[in-house]
Amino acid sequence: MELVVDANILFAILIRGGTTAMLLFNPNLRLYCPEFILEEFMKYSYLIVEKMKRTPEEFVTIMHQLHQVIMVIPQEEYELYMKEAERISPDDKDVPYLALALKLKCGLWSNDAALKKQDKVTIHNTKEIFVLLGE
């Protein structure tokens, strides 16, 4: 199953870990994210490290692990889908995720219920992904 993963899922994994983190390494998932997520993570790294209750070195290690299982896609590759994503997105911050999902013709992994108000991209929350994968 191919999915674009939104930053809130990744933040949750970094901060809480748990069962959501286990999904990242499921061999039946192929995950993608827009490249700006890396900027977000670096911008808020001090907060993430603080909430993770881990060292900055552990944060770097986890970021490397995420990079191994999530393919980062440059905006140029989904730029043509931004207008459509802007039209259907309930929130401006979700536009890049929807644009990437439209380009890849895949779903989006997000726990943001507002995203389900549009009907162009299938939105899966974490519980739904567990069910779909038979976890």
CATH number corresponding to 2-132: 3.40.50.1010
Percent of the chain scoring above 70 in pLDDT: 99
**Mean pLDDT for all residues in the chain:** 90
DSSP string covering 38-60: HHHHHHTHHHHHHHHTS-HHHHH
Cα distance between residue 26 and residue 29, in whole Å: 6
Q: Give 99's pLDDT tier (boundaries 50, 70, 90).
A: very high
pLDDT tens digits, residue range 3-16?
Answer: 999 988 888 877 77
Residue spans of the domains in the chain: they are 2-132
DSSP string covering 25-41: T-TT-EEEEETHHHHHH
What angle do the packed helices 45-52 and 7-16 form, to 10 degrees?
40
Q: Number of H helices and number of E strands within the chain?
A: 8, 5
What angle do the packed helices 56-69 and 45-52 form, to 10 degrees?
100
Q: Give 135's pLDDT tier (boundaries 50, 70, 90).
A: low
Cα distance between residue 93 and residue 131, in whole Å: 27
pLDDT tens digits, residue range 35-70?
Answer: 988 778 778 888 888 877 778 888 888 888 888 899
Cα distance between residue 35 and residue 75, in whole Å: 7
User: Looking at residue 94, what is its pLDDT?
Assistant: 95
